Amino acid sequence: MTGEEFFVDHQTLRRFISVAIGIVRGSAEVRTKLQELRAPYEALLSDQDWLPEKFKQADGNSTMGHGIASLLLYRSELKDLSLSTLVVAPGLSTPVHNHLAWGLVGLYQGEQEEEEYEPHDHTEQTASRPLHLRKRRLLQKGDFYELVPPWNDIHRVRTVSSEPSVSLHLLANDIGCILRQKFDPESGRAEPFRSGWSNAPCEER
């Protein structure tokens, strides 16, 4: 018995994870791994049959805010891969935050407006400067993108559809349990936080 955890028991998910683990633990460069993950991830993102309704509900209350749920679907034993949904109720937005992991993020349901910010180098001089908004874009069902820190690691998303937005996060860490940062874009101030999981505990360190 392994220590990996499946929170959704479906053959589609199990097949995807088997492929993803092989890619993530391979010896290729991150850019190559992301390229190899795109096709199986896109197939999972477009399949509307494997994800139970309870993983599309925004009735949670996480450190991301009320009406925002972070729901774990899979976590590897080594904590080097997690798959999760981030569910954001209509009209709500996440804090500006980072991920500290590479991976793929795509929209499974609804529509989001994403704001991507330039990273600070977090020296004493830059920590008090406002974050620079790099771009704003509309994400629709089926859209996905690569996440590669530090280049595009800082963003905020807001649900602009009448139904909750559900984004599917495939990341090379246990994103809910690591200590990362959220930001005040006006001042540039960073604050450590752990988002946690709405449906699973984090190990005490």
Q: What burial letters (b/e) apply to 20-46, b meaning 16+ CB within 10 Å?
A: bbebbeeeeeeeebbebbeebbeebbe
According to the model, what pLDDT value does residue 1 have? 38
What single DSSP character describes residue 119? P
Strand extents, DSSP E, 38-143 = 61-62, 65-66, 68-75, 82-88, 96-97, 103-109, 112-117, 133-139
Average model confidence (pLDDT) across the chain: 93
Per-residue confidence (pLDDT) for residue 204, from 0 to 100: 72
pLDDT digits (tens, 9 = 90+) for 19-45: 999 999 999 999 999 999 999 999 999
Residue 119 in contact with residue 181, Cβ under 8 Å?
no
pLDDT of 59 reads: 74
This prediction has a pTM of 0.93
